[in-house]
Amino acid sequence: MQARGVRTVSFYGLTWAMPMVLWQLVFFVFPLCFLLALTFWLVRNYRMVPGFDTVNWVKMYSRGYFWDAFGFTFTMALLSTAVTSILAFPCACALAFRTSPAVRRWAMFFLIIPFFTSYLVRAYSWQIFLGDTGVINGLLSAVGVGPWPMLNTRFGTLIGYLTLSLPLVVVLQLFSLASVDRNLVEAAWNLGCGRLKAVFVVIVPLAKVGLIIAATFCFILSFGDFVSPYYLGGSKPPTLSILIVDTTKSGQQWPRAAVVAVTMIATLFAVAFTAVALAYRRRA
């Protein structure tokens, strides 16, 4: 007789779950374990030697440029998350509450189309618009307010982050907002709640999980991106992803680059678990 509250794993359920388990073990857990072990190896005569030494951790964590890169990467990812979420929310609200299902399906289609092309091509094409003699500065110069430096700046990096994550954030927010009961919104209006107040009192709390998950995806993509800070931001100051490349080119220091990579993964884990806890936390 099965005890109450005790769950058993059936062979049928375990069989169907096994492909996903194997996928996670082969392509995530094992590479992560190897990456962690690599941080303790040593480089001698430009060759990696297996060992167990914390010298790579000590040298990387004692360098000021590492923490500068970490702070810059984290700050830019937070800024990208905030700007992307704010820009995506009105668009997602309009599609969820102001359009017909047919228009919504077409909007979803056009939001997904950018992912059919290479992100590198999309980010690189921004150089035509953001350059000192580009399209935007050409228009600004024509009206006497330019040119403004936009390429190889933090603004250029932010534009690349938006190119990467904005369509995805709109789609994720749309999924969450479309599930909000419209009767609750109309009830708030009938009780004297203004439209703007109804957004923050009714819609945002009901769609909180989707909004936080969308912001988390944006942070993860921005935090680990290499293309935008390199091609649009000029890699100055460098982000952690650029620091990994620079470290591997400097004396084949793959173990020290692995330290940076493990730090990035640990940071993303911390952010992701914190976001999920906030998303599913119940009100007191």
Q: Which residues, given as ranges, of the chain have pLDDT below 50?
A: 1-2
Residue 201: DSSP 8-state: I
Residue 281: DSSP 8-state: P
- Please tell me the distance from the alpha carbon of residue 20 to that of residue 227, in angstroms, as a whole number: 30
What integer pLDDT is reported at residue 1 of this predicted model? 43
pTM score, whole prediction:
0.89
Token pair, residue 251, equals 């004396």
What integer pLDDT is reported at residue 53 of this predicted model? 86
The tens digit of pLDDT for each residue in 59-96 reads: 999 999 999 999 999 999 999 999 999 999 999 999 99
Residue with tokens 């793959």: 254
Please enumerate in sequence order all residues whose Cβ is within 8 A of that of 264, keeping only pairs 6 or more positions apart, or say none.
223, 224, 240, 241
- Please tell me the distance from the alpha carbon of residue 226 to that of residue 234, in angstroms, as a whole number: 11
The tens digit of pLDDT for each residue in 130-158 reads: 988 888 888 888 888 878 889 999 999 99
Quickly list DSSP for 27-81.
IIIHHHHHHHHHTT-EEETTEEE----THHHHHHHT-HHHHHHHHHHHHHHHHHH
Domains located in the chain, CATH noted: 64-279 (1.10.3720.10)
Is 141 within 8 Å of 147 (Cβ atoms)? yes
First to last CA, the chain: 37
What integer pLDDT is reported at residue 4 of this predicted model? 55
